[in-house]
A = this chain, B = another copy of it.
Amino acid sequence: MAVTIHDVAREAGVSVSTVSRALSGARRVGPELVERVHEAARRVGYRHNAVARALRAQRTGVIGMVVPEISNPFFPAIVEAVERTLQESDRELMLCDSRRSPDVERRRIQALLGRQVDGLLISPVDSQASTKVLHEAMRHTAVVQMDRYADQTRLDWVGVDDESGMALVVQHVRDHGAERVALVSAERNSSSGRDRLDALRRATTTAGLAESVELLGEFSIDWGAAAARELVSRGDLPDAVVCGNDEIAVGVIRELRRHGLAVPDDVLVTGFDDTPIATYIEPALTTIRQPREAIATEAVRLLDARLADTELPVRKLALQPELVVRGSTQPGSEGSAS
């Protein structure tokens, strides 16, 4: 039914072995035959069947990727960079969304393993609940964690150095005169939630700042707005609100302004990630830029190293982030409140 190497072999008058070798470029075929085979392949309209090749070669050339939420603006840029990197080695990306559910995540990983992916890139939903399935996955394929990670896994990880990032942010607001800061972030159930909060506490202590209050919810705009309402209702505003990510910060800024407070003149606000949203709002957001391109590239590199050598020691790669200063902490700057 489909055009196979047998058809090409018949057309070229050679064996299927020769066709396979000529087409795959394994250099053990006479140059004139290679030419003849390619010619024949073109004439009969041959198209490579990657499924058959995968079954025989025990290698699919497909990498599975599981993200907590593709519509979270942090992930598309990562996905794009991973896809681009994989193309350089003719591999494809099979993308899954775990919808922030450990249960969905488990099913998606099982499906990817069943499809014999050559490797798995994952940003685990939950630092506890994701551990078990990841341990099972690593028995079948190479696994690298990106951005988030699960506890107690002997698994590679690449992400941003939350400690450095939060230190940069806290020093920055202190340099701009802040003495009392509020922390608004997410619950500790994801590794990002926990690590950023811990980093934030240490950074405020180190910088000699007072922590006015700590509000924990989700990495979302809605939570940021809710937290801002809470701050306002307490009637005891801090000098700065340091947020766990950009979306929270956007919610905070918008809600503060709704209550007639000016950012940055009354309160400084900072984010984390530098997603596109950081420049959409007004004032534009001072935030920490994650090296997303590098995270993607390094993740694929770690995966390939792991594929080449299973005995490699576990590597955790924390990349340095960068402070991006914008209107939300710069009184009088172009993007500040009018």
Q: List 12 A-B contacts (CB under 8 A).
A: A49-B114, A62-B115, A70-B76, A71-B77, A71-B80, A73-B73, A79-B95, A83-B95, A83-B96, A92-B111, A258-B334, A276-B277
Let me know if B55 and A83 touch, CB within 8 A: no
Report if A94 contacts B (CB, 8 A).
yes
Where the two chains meet, the residues of A that have a C-beta atom closer than 8 Å to any C-beta of B are 47-52, 54-55, 60, 62, 69-71, 73, 75-77, 79-80, 83-84, 90, 92-97, 99, 111-116, 140, 250, 254, 258, 276-277, 280-282, 334, 337-338
Instruction: Please state the number of chain copies in the assembly.
Output: 2
State the main secondary structure of chain A at its contact with B: mixed
Complex Cα distance A144/B75, Å? 26
Contacts of A282 in B (CB 8 A): 254, 281-282
Let me know if B97 and A83 touch, CB within 8 A: yes
A2, closest chain B residue (CB): B58
Contacts of A111 in B (CB 8 A): 90, 92
A77 to chain B, nearest CB (A): 5
Contacts of A112 in B (CB 8 A): 92
Contacts of A281 in B (CB 8 A): 280-282
Within 8 Å by CB of A55, from B52, B69, B113, lies B52
